[in-house]
Amino acid sequence: MSFYIYKFVLLKRFKRLNMNMLKNTLNKLVILGMETKRVLIADDHTIVRSGIKLIIRDFLPSAVFDEASNGDAVIACVKKNDYELIVLDINMPDTDSIALVTNVFAYRELSKVLIYSMNSEELYAKRFIKLGVLGYLNKESRTEEIRNAIACVLRGDVYISRKVRKDLSDDSHSKKGGDNPFEKLSDREMQTVKYLLNGYSLLEIRNILNVHSSTVGTYKTRLFEKLKVKTVRELEELARMYQMEISKL
C-alpha cells in the first residue's frame, strides 16, 4: 500500500470516528435534555391545567406533572417535591395569593414560577415580580405568547407580556402619583370599598351613606373601573396585594 493510499484510509477512518463521537455526544445531550423534570400546574379549572400541560410537553416531553386546585394543595406539593417549573393561578378559591407565593419561595427558594391569571396585569405583575416570580401572563394571551413565556421562565429569565411591558414603561414616564391604585379613588368610593370588603350589600351601604341606590351603584362601577377589578373577590385580593387595612380605609 502506497503512502498516499494509506493516508487516504486513515483520513476516512478519522472522519468516521469523529462522526461517531459527534453522534454519541448529541445522543448524550438529548438524554440530558430529556431528563425527567417535575412540573406543578395550579389552577382551579381542570381544562386550564390540561391546556397548559399540552404546551409544556413541547419543552419537557418526559416531564412528570402534578396538579393543584387550591393554595393548600400547592404547598403540600412544594413541601414534597422540587419543581422545574410552577405555573400558578393567583385567583384560586380560599387562597391568599401573596401568602401562597411567599410560602412557595420559603420552601423552594429557587423555584421558577410563572403566574397565569385573569387578574389585571397592570396592577399585579410588578408586585409578583418583586416577590420573586419569573413571569406574569394573562389568561387572554395567545398560545404563541404562552409558549414564549414558558420558554423564557424555563431559561431562568423574567417574562412579562408586551402589554405589561408597555404599561410599565408608560408608568415610568408618567408624572402622576404613586403605584397604589386606591389613591385614585374619591372619598365616597373609598368608603364604598370599605363597606364592600366588610360584606355589606349595596342596600346597606345606601342606608349608611344616606344616598340613592343608583348613586351607590355608580360608586361601585367607578371604583371597579379605576381598580380594574370585576368582582368583590378580586377587590379583596387587590386590597391584600396593597396591604390595605380595612379599619384604616
pLDDT in tens, 105-136: 999 999 999 999 887 777 788 778 888 999 99
Q: Is the dihedral of CA 42, 48, 53, 58 positive or negative?
A: negative
| pLDDT recorded at residue 75 | 96
CA atoms within 13 A on the CB side of 15: 6
Least confident of 6-15, 38-47, 74-83, 173-182: 6-15
Domains delineated in the chain: 36-173 (3.40.50.2300), 181-248 (1.10.10.10)
Q: b/e for 16-46, b at 16 or more Cβ within 10 A?
A: eeeeeeeeeeeeeeeeeeeeebbbbbbbbee
- Asked whether the whole model's pTM tops 0.75, one would answer no
pLDDT of residue 15: 52
**pLDDT tens by residue, 142-170:** 898 899 999 999 999 999 877 666 766 66
d(CA 80, CA 84): 14
Does pLDDT of 248 surpass 50? Answer: no
| Greater pLDDT, 31 or 26 | 26
Using CA atoms, how far apart are residues 66 and 4, in angstroms rounded to an integer? 63
